[in-house]
Structure 1
């Protein structure tokens, strides 16, 4: 697995766990670092801090692009993968759009439901379409 793929997986783990605990992802990240269990790849830190910092915009875009699905109704894994994907699409210039979408689909393919890859692909595609419009 490539370094950035591992970083995305670790970022997802932190986002998912912090949501379950009802805490800020940045607090979870800082605690992991303080306990010596922090990410070994700086890209994980970039993703977690970036998603946390842009969460309002990201969630608004996901909600408006996920026709018929509220954020609360989505599986938690899908919701957090979408947050990572949208962050990369909008704020990480050195990751091509196709790579961000493919990586998001790979995460949900491995960790979520059978329907999740097509759902995530559709939502990220709608975000891309809206961005270009």
Structure 2
């Protein structure tokens, strides 16, 4: 197999001999800059790993603790699940039904099945941590973390939605406790 002739001044193809597109005239490319790795702190990354478990359980329609047990097995394909992530999933599991009822009740015009799956996982885990987590962490800081995670992982409208709904749940809890 022979290579097709290159236009004059075109760079040599890289990789497995794939042809480069030929352009006429000047083309202006946007420079892409990778997102900084420190954009999310260690706690946020642990929360995201826990979200992965909730997301997978939801997608596969499996019990979240069964998925957690699968994730705790160390394989060559993944890094071990951090202890903090496991603790968050275990915090959520016993309250899963109550959390879904709260979210369904207080998310005006957005039943759970209509929410994006990522938002559903964020709201479920965020609700568990805000409503049933340790009192030592400020509830506002937790809501801010989940809002930031929604900003990174979901749609443009998700951060506001996540922030508003978690705040509403916290406000209602304050009225009833």
TM bucket normalised to smaller: over 0.9
Deviations 1:74-123 (A, max 9, x none): 11111110011111111112221111111111111111110000111111
Q: Which has the larger radius of gyration?
A: 2
**TM-score calculated relative to the size of structure 2:** 0.70
Larger RCO (CA within 8 A; separation ≥ 6): 1
1:6 aligns with 2:45: yes
Number of residue-to-residue matches in the alignment = 132
1:61 aligns with 2:66: no
Q: How does 1:1-133 map to 2 (within 5 A)?
A: 1-36=40-75, 37=78, 38-39=80-81, 41-93=82-134, 94-133=136-175
Q: Which consecutive aligned stretches of 4+ in structure 1 deviate over 4 angstroms post-superposition?
A: none
Q: Helix, strand or coil: the match of 1:54?
A: helix
Aligned residues of 1:88 and 1:95 also touching (Cα < 8 A): no
Q: Unaligned 5+ residue runs, structure 1?
A: none
Aligned residues of 1:58 and 1:83 also touching (Cα < 8 A): yes
RMSD: 1.3
Q: Which stretch shows the higher mean deviation, 101-110 or 28-37?
A: 28-37
Specify which structure has the higher proportion of helix.
1
**TM-score calculated relative to the size of structure 1:** 0.92
